[in-house]
Amino acid sequence: MADVLMQIDGRPAGADDLGHFVLSNYGAFTSMQVEDGAVRGLDLHLVRLEAEALDLFGLAVPEALLRERMRQALDGRAGRFSLRVNLFSDAISLRAPQAVVQPRVLTTLSPPATPLTTPLRLQTQVYAREVPHLKHAATFGLTRARRQAVLAGFDDALFVDGDGRVSEGSIWNIGFLQGETVVWPEAPMLGGTGQALLQRGMVDFGLSSVIRSVHLSDLARFDAAFICNSATPACAVAAIDGHRFGPAEALIARLIDAWRSNPCQTI
């Protein structure tokens, strides 16, 4: 197959179909890793898409139709792929924003994402995504934040508020390890599918989790930190700004096992 295959409403995406999508970033999406026609946490992605559609367009895409669009994108292919599902509508624009409409479905099938494994050095930046509970298509701020971090010699950006309260990263959630407990920051952010899969699987691997405010002044209290998203079950954080964390290979391995304990769900 070509490296990237795009379909809109189950048909190959042409220039006319993509015109509005290119000119407007009003929409939302979810990204998942497919293994032989199945996805870990597929239910989480479907719930996300329903919530996004209701919030942004007033109407949800029926689950059966979403699954059909995903299957059409895969077209019976076996193996591993990345699948991104975008929701958008050419009935809504800046000049005419009021329509209540079932959004169109853009699917993008591409080679699988490679999980991050090398411990990351993170630069904190005072930033919060607009409407943070949605995985929306307005990614200018995220790209700019990652660019600034990389140009400054870091691997990625970690967002904090003006008081130093940690929220999330550019395209991932962060967790902090305190003994056998994972501490998830409490702040306005996107609830990640990778984070939810870890929460589902942790108990069977001797780990518990809590959600509470984490400030930069708290970093010394933690044994380690890690990031996670739909492509990376868990990757250690080597440092946040000037604060360095010790090695955590054994704990990271347990987190990855917890993530893998979630069965793949057939599309």
Answer yes or no: is pLDDT of 237 > 90: yes
- Put simply, whether the predicted model's pTM sits higher than 0.85 gets the answer yes
CATH number 3.30.470.10 given to 5-110: yes
Query: Tens digit of pLDDT for each residue in 110-148?
Result: 999 999 999 999 999 999 999 999 999 999 999 999 999
Domain boundaries, the chain: 5-110, 120-266
- Residue pLDDT, tens place only, 172-200: 999 999 999 999 999 999 999 999 999 99
Write the pLDDT tens digit of every residue in 204-216.
Answer: 999 999 999 999 9
pLDDT at 20: 87
Q: Cα(223)–Cα(252) distance, rounded to whole angstroms?
A: 12
21 has pLDDT over 90: no
In this predicted structure, the answer to whether residue 17 has a pLDDT above a threshold of 90 is: no
Instruction: Using the predicted structure, report yes or no on whether residue 22 has a pLDDT greater than 90.
Output: no
- Residue 19 clears pLDDT 90, i.e. is over it: no
- Residue 165 token pair: 């309260």
Provide the pLDDT for residue 1.
61
Among residues 117, 153, 151, the alpha carbon closest in space to that of 237 is found at: 117
Give 120-266's CATH code, choosing from 3.40.47.10, 3.90.650.10, 3.20.10.10, 3.40.50.150: 3.20.10.10
Mean pLDDT of 6-15: 95
pLDDT at 175: 98
Length of the chain: 267
Q: What is the pLDDT of residue 242?
A: 97
The per-residue pLDDT for range 43-69, each reduced to its tens digit, is 999 999 999 999 999 999 999 999 999
Mean per-residue pLDDT, 29-53: 98
Quick one: pLDDT band at residue 8, thresholds 50, 70, 90? very high
The pLDDT, as a whole number, for residue 128 is 97
Sign of torsion over alpha carbons 242, 229, 207, 161: positive
